[in-house]
Amino acid sequence: MSDPDGDRIAITALTELRAALASHGITLPSLDLHLPSYAASGTRPPLISLGNCNPATAQRLADALGAAR
């Protein structure tokens, strides 16, 4: 059984990352919790899977991160 606090941390981070990306017009369709680590027992929060994206989305993400420097 996974750690409820760790699950909450991961879900909060996932939600905030989705919102931050959306504020820059970026959507990563595969962005979600990494199911094997979510289902695994342990004390660590589950991983977040960023997934795949096309080159245009990768460039938008790079541009947004570059502007934040």
Residue range of the domain that includes 54: 4-68
Global pTM value: 0.82
What's the rounded mean pLDDT across residues 18-43? 88
Q: How many domains does the chain have?
A: 1
What's the rounded mean pLDDT across residues 16-43? 89
Using the predicted structure, report yes or no on whether residue 29 has a pLDDT greater than 80: yes
* pLDDT value of residue 5: 87
Query: Got the DSSP string for 30-58?
Result: T-EE-HHHHHS-BSSPPPEE-----HHHH
